[in-house]
Structures are given as structure tokens and as C-alpha cells.
Structure 1
Amino acid sequence: MTSLDQPVDVLLSDGSTVQLRPIDPADAPGIVAMHSRFSERTRYLRYFSPYPRIPERDLIRFVTVDHHDREAFVVLAADQIVAVGRYERLGPQAPEAEVAFVVEDAYQGRGIGSVLMEHLADAARRNDIMSFVAEVLPANGTMLRVFADFGYQVQREYADGVVHLSFPIAPTEASLEVQRGREHRTEARSIARLLAPRGIVVYGASATGQGVGAAVLGHLRDGGFTGAVVPVHPSASTVAGLPAYPSAVAAGAPVDLAVVAVPPEAATAVVADAAAAGVHGLVVISAGFAEAGGEGAATQRA
């Protein structure tokens, strides 16, 4: 793993994608908003108290790090912060750091804790930190499993109602095997609905039957696909003999894959419609994206 100074897309255990990047002071409102969505249980398990709101002093400290002795990463879904993880060195030049992370309730159980752990450990090693310590309430079984299942040699001590964990973060064959296994499983799940979709929505198929979009639609209709094939057209009620709809949302059919054959300038609106309909993957058949230069690359990223 290389140094993380730019946002990266990461796959979760259910095959969905989130973005991970270093925290920034401008994230303060997003951290407050995430905190407001926590259940009382999540707040208690993370902070060992109800902690109904983040005091201004704590907030400033949360979002301000030096990326050396103190590091923090945020995880975003649809531009909304849904998790944060951090480490803090235990004294000047100390080889140990305390690690902690918290995940919004709706995103728990998807492997975000493992992703944060992986990136935090990598960042810590690059800053000469050799081991992590953590304090976890005994009731927080999920967090205890994250640490136990990562492949590190974790030492546990129970005192004052808290489980104290310590473990070296140098990669081991066990930790590397855990990481490879996680990557294989998430990659498989991420493409499952691409290779075996319940339904396919096609954007850009003309009602005249001309063009790439119409050709693709015809192949899907006649090629033996047993799921729903949904053409989206701004005005036609039928395309290639199939009922057409002004949007994928309007069709109401379960669609996992979108085939996009529209010009780049129309692609952003199309992708937004596909996302609103629950589409998981895109196949874009159009020129003018990254291969066309900087503007096309920006459109592709958007």
C-alpha cells in the first residue's frame, strides 16, 4: 500500500464502494452531522458515555491532525461522512499509538472497520509506529472481532470494565492473508450484479433503431437474457418493441446494471438517474471521457 494523500475508492464486504481520504479541518460540519446520526448505543460503545454532542474544543482536535503523530481518515458515501478512524502516538517518538474508529449505524457490518484499520496501520508504520493499543468495552463484540480477525497477535487485558488491547502492526503472513481474502471477497461481490444482473436499463437507444445504443438494446432483447430490459427514452413509449420510460426510476423494475450510450455531457444526469433506481454497475459505451483529455477525465470522475 502506498502513501494516502488523495481520496481513494475502496470496496466494502457487500460489494459497494465508498471513498476514503485523510481528514481535513473543513470536515467539521460533516463530523457533527455523522455524530447526530449515531444511535445511543454507538455513541456509548465508542466514547464510553452518552456523548450527545461534540464540544467545540473536541471537534477542533478531531479534525486537526499533523499526519505524523496524529492521523485520521474519513470514509464517505455519497459525499456524506459515515465513518472516521484515527491513531494518536503515545508521547513524543513513542513506538506505540492508540487507535480508534467509529462507523455510522447504517454502514456497520460492511467491513469499514477493517478498511480503516488497514490504512491506519500503513500510515503508522511509515511514521515509525510499531504497535497499536486500543480500549474497547466488553459489550462491543463487533470491534473486538475487527481486531482479532485482522491477523495480528493481539494481547488482551481486562481492567476497570474495559478490554485493553495491544498488538504489533508489522505485516505478518496471517495479516496479509486476511487482507488478500478480504479483497478477493469484496471484488467478487462487487462484480456479481455486473455479471448476473436482475435487470438492465439502457440509456441512449434511439427509437429509429439506429446507433450503438439501439444495437446493444437489440442484442439484449434477442440474446436470451431472462431479466428485465428497460430502455429509457425522453419521449418514446416503446423502443425496439419494448416499453420505454422517461427514467429508470419510473420503470419500477429491479435493475442492477445500466448500459450508457449517451454523449459525455449527458452522462452525469444519466448516472444520477441510474443511482436513484438502485443500479449497481455501469457499462459506458461512449467516447469523450478520459481518453479525450482533462475535461473528459473530470466528466468521467464525476
Structure 2
Amino acid sequence: MRLLFNMQKTLRKLWIGDLGALRAHLKRLDPEARRLRFGGVTTDHFIDAYVDTAFRLDATIFAVFIDGEIRGSAELRSIFGGASPDAEAAFAVEKDWQDQGLGSELMDRILTSAQNRGIARLHMICLSENARMRHIAGKFGARLTFAEGEVTGEMTPAQPTPLSLLDELVHDAQGFVTAVFDWRR
């Protein structure tokens, strides 16, 4: 495990210019982290196809950058497409960066995003042995249901407020400016 001391950490929304960084992050996941994130064995080819469709499927993706590299990511994606009141949250944190609160920081950003989009039910679906995901879900008040090797956590985000909308707007604006500088490097 690496420690975050003396490292530059940024949490921001991803934009289309970040696809390469997201692809590299997901490919750095060890086989167990890939299995837990995607629910089965995945190949680099699968990750390439997944990332290629990430922004076309109306996903909102956040990432934690440490010293310019994505080390943790989270997605908010409508389950049924369109203006569905149901969405799913999914997370991936590279092994060396786990147990440092990155998943919780990402979950907080996902909850604000779900709140501001009027999501009525936020689902977190994982394999039953994914203790970290179950911990994050429980920490944020999700109701956990166990069935056939999977766990579903369900949460009801609050209604949007002027403060939650402003919070997201400010984070998005700061994140976009940061992204532009990152892309120029």
C-alpha cells in the first residue's frame, strides 16, 4: 500500500479527453480487482470496449488522480437508460491505493451527482466477497440484500437543493479547468 503523504491528489469528473487515462487505470487493476469491479474475469480487450462506450452510455464518471494518474474511479449510470429514477454506482481502486478513503470520497461525489439528477434509487451491486464495496455501501446507509453470490446495496439520495447543485457546479468547473491543464501536459 502506498501512502498519500507528499502526493498531489485531485478528485474530479472525467471528460472525453480523459478516456486514455481511464483505460490505463482500469488496465492497471490486478485480476482480483478486475473481477470484483466487473463481476467476472476481464481482458484488456474487454476494458478497451468498455471505455470506448463509457461516455456514450450517459455515464457520469469521477476519478481520483494521484500525481497525475487515475488511481480510483467511480461511475454513476442509469440502469434502464434515459430518465430512469434508478441508477447504479460502480467503483474501482487500484490495489496499492486501497484502504485510504478514496472509495468513500468517490461515493460522496457519486451521491451528490445522483441527488442532483433526481435519482430515486441508487444501486450498488457487487459480488458477495467484495468486503470493501459492502463497507462503503453500509457506511453511506445503503440497505444490503444478499442473494446468489451477489450483494445489492440500495440507497435513496436526497432531493436536489440549491447547495447541492452549487457544490456540483463548483466542483465541475474546478475539475474542468484542472483537466484542461492536465491534457496540455
- With the shorter chain as reference, the TM-score category is 0.7 to 0.9
Which of 11, 27, 38 matches 2:29? 38
* In the alignment, structure 1 residue 70 sits paired with structure 2 residue 59: yes
Distance in 1 of aligned mates of 2:4 and 2:70:
18
TM-aligned CA deviation for residue 100 of structure 1 = 0.6
* In the alignment, structure 1 residue 155 sits paired with structure 2 residue 130: no
Counterpart for residue 85 of structure 1: 74
Structure 2 residue identity aligned to 1:155: R
TM-aligned CA deviation for residue 149 of structure 1 = 1.2
Structure 2 residue identity aligned to 1:87: L
Local SS of the residue matching 1:145: helix
Structure 1 residue identity aligned to 2:97: Y
Local SS of the residue matching 1:75: strand
Local SS of the residue matching 1:109: coil
Counterpart for residue 152 of structure 2: 164
Local SS of the residue matching 1:139: coil
Local SS of the residue matching 1:110: coil
Output aligned runs, 1:1-302, within 5 Å: 18-55=9-46, 56-62=48-54, 64=55, 70-91=59-80, 92-150=82-140, 152=141, 154-170=142-158
Distance in 1 of aligned mates of 2:8 and 2:68:
12
Scaled by the length of structure 1, what TM-score is found?
0.47
Q: Specify whether residues 137 and 119 from structure 1 end up closer, same or farther in structure 2 by C-alpha distance, changes over 3 A only.
A: same
Distance in 2 of aligned mates of 1:124 and 1:15:
32
Q: Name structure 1 gaps, 5 residues minimum.
A: 1-11, 172-297
Local SS of the residue matching 2:44: coil
TM-aligned CA deviation for residue 83 of structure 1 = 1.2
Local SS of the residue matching 2:77: strand
Counterpart for residue 170 of structure 2: none
Question: Pairwise CA RMSD of aligned residues?
Answer: 2.5
Local SS of the residue matching 2:75: strand
Distance in 2 of aligned mates of 1:163 and 1:169:
19
Distance in 2 of aligned mates of 1:90 and 1:50:
22
Structure 2 residue identity aligned to 1:57: A
Task: Give 1 or 2: higher helix fraction.
Answer: 2
Residues 97-141 of structure 1, C-alpha deviation per residue, up to 9 Å, x if partnerless? 111111111111011111111111111111111221111111111
Contact 1:14 1:110 in 2 (8 A): no
Distance in 1 of aligned mates of 2:32 and 2:26:
12
Contact 1:43 1:50 in 2 (8 A): yes
Bigger RCO (CA 8 Å, 6+ sep): 2
Q: Specify whether residues 111 and 54 from structure 1 end up closer, same or farther in structure 2 by C-alpha distance, changes over 3 A only.
A: farther
Based on CA coordinates, which of the two structures has the bigger radius of gyration? 1
Scaled by the length of structure 2, what TM-score is found?
0.74
Contact 1:18 1:77 in 2 (8 A): yes
Q: Specify whether residues 47 and 90 from structure 1 end up closer, same or farther in structure 2 by C-alpha distance, changes over 3 A only.
A: closer
Q: Percent identity?
A: 23
Local SS of the residue matching 1:169: coil
Local SS of the residue matching 2:83: coil
Contact 1:32 1:54 in 2 (8 A): no
TM-aligned CA deviation for residue 93 of structure 1 = 2.2
Contact 1:44 1:51 in 2 (8 A): yes
Residues 212-240 of structure 1, C-alpha deviation per residue, up to 9 Å, x if partnerless? xxxxxxxxxxxxxxxxxxxxxxxxxxxxx
